Amino acid sequence: MKRYERFADEISELIRSGVLAPGERVPSVRQASRHYGISPSTVFQAYYLLENQGLIVARPRSGYFVREQAQRLLNEPEMNPCVQETADIAVSELVFSVLGSLQDSDTVPFGSAFPGPELFPLPRLARSMTKGLRALPADAIIADMTAGDPDLRRQIALRYRLTGVHLTPQELVITNGAMEALNLGFQCVTSPGDLVAIESPAFYASLQVLERLKLRAVEIPVHPREGIDLEALAESLARHPIKACWFMSHLQNPLGASLSDAKKQALYALLKQHQVPLIEDDVYAELYFGTTPPTPVKHYDDEGLVIHCGSFSKCLAPGYRVGWVAGGRYAESISRLKLMTTISPSVPAQVAIADYLQHGGYDRHLRRLRYALETQQGHMLDAAARYFPAGTRATRPSGGYFLWFEFPRQVDSLRLFHMAREQGISIAPGPIFSATQGYRHCARLSYGHPWTPRSEEAMALLGRLLASF
């Protein structure tokens, strides 16, 4: 990270944490330069970046100020307080129709599940592929199928260390993206008809997995910033025979909520008390905007109860389909289940990523990616504040690439979805994030693609559609 980026980060933390209040003056260029021991031009560069991110504004002849809505350009959505139990989940039709809307490459991809491809080091990965395949002994192409590429498993185990998790490469099973990891984890600890706890709103794919495996769901409310409601969970665990939980501890999809360390610890204690395994979906782990990597619930796991699922699909190599699962006490069963379903993910893709992790400059890429996403978040929030109707609420997550919007009650996001689609804009309407198809006046919008004048126009158009309700 460059010096000006580091400095911008510090100021951004001060704003996000409320130390610098909205409307307050940020240190002048001279003060900052003296206080932090950096050159005035570095301070200028940092302030320029923060301005782009929508966090500060320049006032002529007065200096820079924290933007009035810097902390929350729009109000925060409210938490849906109800715990709901659902027997028959049938969300797939709706999800497939939404996914179908993304197929047209001309669409403004606010509904997309992936960041823009231009944000990934694809040419560098291709070089790693060439190099990795050249170095691969012929018999490894067959031998590596069972357990996964040994270099890759070592590299992943190393990255876990950075987040405070100590595990051996043997606990890791390489999978076809996190989706397979999550499927295997769930199959391992449940049988058809079982009850499992999920978040509300929940990532739609988790609903599809439940539907496919014929599981019943208890939906636990998620606070838009602080994450899962632990009291509601404790009550549900006491009342129902819950067999497993599927939670995202960081940058929950769609809300972007992250659990504090204390809350993670309390969550683990609760699950341990009930001996209920946690499937921890942590695919956005690398996309935090702060300066320190978050610690997963897995860190507190002293009984092998947490099945931690990760992936390179959202942070490095979409389309390569390489994910993994650290399965705790279930690792062996998961590995066998994988052999019976897909045998192995593609060996060349594993080899390429293993080489890249060693030589490609992964951390440099991640820093760039995080900056790009943070800047894009600023643009989208800014546009939403300008174009969306009064009463609209929005999250402002500290990472990832999704915003969750709560529109005025009269908005029907399914109708909005169809209207927007007609105009060449995709969105992810609220009902796909719930087994009971709630959240009708909500939607998830992605800022994962570079911001262009077209994005701006699309936001304005969405604003006009919203006003028509």
Residues at the contact surface with a second copy, assessed by CB under 8 A: 92, 96, 99, 103, 105, 112, 114, 117-118, 120, 122, 126, 129-130, 133-134, 138-146, 176-177, 179-180, 183, 192, 205, 208-209, 211-212, 318-322, 336-337, 339-349, 352
Q: Which residue, 143 or 269, is less far from a second copy as judged by CB?
A: 143
First to last CA, the chain: 45
We find the least distance from the C-beta atom of residue 209 to a second copy, in angstroms, to be 7
Of 357 and 381, which has the nearer Cβ to a second copy? 357
Question: Closest distance between a second copy and the C-beta of residue 182, in Å?
Answer: 10
Contact 171, 307 (CB under 8 A): no
Structural tokens at position 293: 């990597």
Tell me the closest approach of the beta carbon of residue 211 to a second copy, in angstroms: 8
Please tell me the distance from the alpha carbon of residue 155 to that of residue 169, in angstroms, as a whole number: 9
- CA atoms of 261 and 459, how far apart (whole Å): 35
Rounded CA gap, 148 and 140, in Å?
10
* Closest distance of CB 168 from a second copy, Å: 17
CB of 303 to a second copy, least distance (A): 25
Could you give the CA distance from residue 251 to residue 397 in angstroms, rounded to a whole number?
7
CB of 332 to a second copy, least distance (A): 10
Query: How many whole angstroms separate alpha carbon 314 and alpha carbon 332?
Result: 26
CB-CB contact of 174 with 149 (8 Å): yes
Residues listed for the chain: 469
Nearest CB to a second copy, comparing residues 31 and 170: 170
The 10 Å CB-count burial string (b at 16+, else e) for 306-322 is bbbbbbbbbbbbbebbb
Cα–Cα dist 214/217, whole Å = 10
**Whose Cβ is closer to a second copy: residue 75's or residue 452's?**
452
Q: Which is nearer to a second copy, 138 or 262 (CB)?
A: 138
Q: In terms of CB distance, is 8 or 316 closer to a second copy?
A: 316
